[in-house]
Structure formats: structure tokens, C-alpha cells
Structure 1
Amino acid sequence: MVHPAKDDSGPVDDGSLRTAEQARDMTRGFLAVAAPQGGSAVDAVLLVVSELFANAVQHAGGVTGFELKAGPDAVTVAVHVASTVSPRPLPLDASRPVGFGWHLVQQLSVQVRVAVHAAGKTVTAVVPCPTGVTPEG
């Protein structure tokens, strides 16, 4: 379920999203409004959402919340999970069809943070993307 944001955060999910596909669909709708001229940067945001969401489902027991926030030059993606174990990158190995997601997230983002808290952790990625949001001033 998507709830209207109480601040400038954009769509906030209450944990009802279960698949990366659902998260991408929500993100596409958000970006259609927040970054209509985003071009290939929109694809980068969608890839980061897909990878963070898929990693949370596969390695951290699922997603408990999901947030998107548009800033002047970037979109912030936050995925909340119940696990407190920090993501660990696997060594890159072209002969193995897995292990590229965390590396992709880090390459496509200008900042990636993992915050562990009492309810689990939040993985936040800031992805460059031109938006219609103007800086506060």
C-alpha cells in the first residue's frame, strides 16, 4: 500500500510490497512525477531499487518498509529490513551468475549507507537523477 508522504519523502510503503517487481512499479510511478526528464538516470534508480529489494528478500528475510525521496539532483531509496546483518559484497566472478547486485548499487549511487537499529537495518542509496524538485532556499 502506498501512503501519501507527510513530508517531502515521496511514496512510503508500510511493508506490504513483497517483490522487486512491485517496488519497481511503485518507483516508476514516483519517477514519472518526480523526474519526468530523468532519462537514463531513471533506469539507474530502478536498477538500484531492484537490487536493494531483491537482496533484502533473498538475504535479509524480506522488506519491512520502503521509501523514495526526490531531491534537486538525486533520488534517495531506503529499504528497511528486519535483519541486522550488514550486506557484504561477494568477490566479483564472471563465471558465477550472482553477486553483482551490491557492487551495482555502490557504482550507481553517490552514497550508500547501512544503519543498524533496534528493528533491523535501513539500507539507503542516493542515486543521481535530475528531478523537478528545487533546492530549499
Structure 2
Amino acid sequence: MRIGELSKRTGVSPRSLRYYEEQGLLTSSRSDAGQRHYSDAEVERVSLIRQLFDAGMSSQVIAAVLPCVETPSDPDVVELAFATMTRVRDRIDADIAHLIQTRDALDVLIEANSRHRAGLSTTSEPVPRSA
């Protein structure tokens, strides 16, 4: 199938499919006219690639994990994929912890601003603005 058909079947843009190929995540053959042609198996592969991207993996990490799909009985490949996915999860956990700290710091500022706003609404005279 050509790239347009793969795009329709997977819901992934042709631009993304070309990117996947540039990154070595997807393969195609070329016609004499240079058009990309994909096998039916690439539909499932694109679905898996999307799942991996949705799980927070970069294209470089996905490239490291995909051999596990291609050689699922190789214990070294399976172990590498596991370690890679675990590292990604640990990075996501650290990002979440940092975001929680950032949100908490923002909550402190919002609370201070809320107290300030409440004080302004009880002031009887307007505060003059300086130029």
C-alpha cells in the first residue's frame, strides 16, 4: 500500500510516517517512480509506534525497544527493552514530582495574591497610581 493508504488506515499523517521511516522505526520499499510502498504488517507496527509515543517515549527510545518485537525470544533484547521502558517511567515519575512541586509553589503565590485582592476590595479609598 502507498503512504496515503497507510495514513488512512492508521490515522497517522503521511508526514509522521515519513518521520518514522527517517528514524528507522518503519520501513518501506520503493517503486520505480520512487513512491513508498508498505506491507500490511506496517499497520500494526504504526499502531505500536503510536502506543510507544503515547507512553512518553522518544523516537530514539522507541528504536531501542522495537527489536524486542522483532526478536521476542532473545532474552538480551527483552531485558534491554525492559530496562529502557523502566528508565522512561522513572523519568516520567521525576517529571511528575517536579510538576507537583511547581504547582505547589504556584498555589502559594495564588493564595498570597488572593489575600492581596481581598485587602484591596475592603479599602475605602482608591489607591493612586504612579506614572
TM-score by length of 2: 0.29
Larger radius of gyration: 2
In terms of fraction of residues, the more strand-rich structure is 1
In terms of fraction of residues, the more helix-rich structure is 2
Where relative contact order (Cα < 8 A, 6+ residues apart) is larger, the structure is: 1
TM-score by length of 1: 0.28
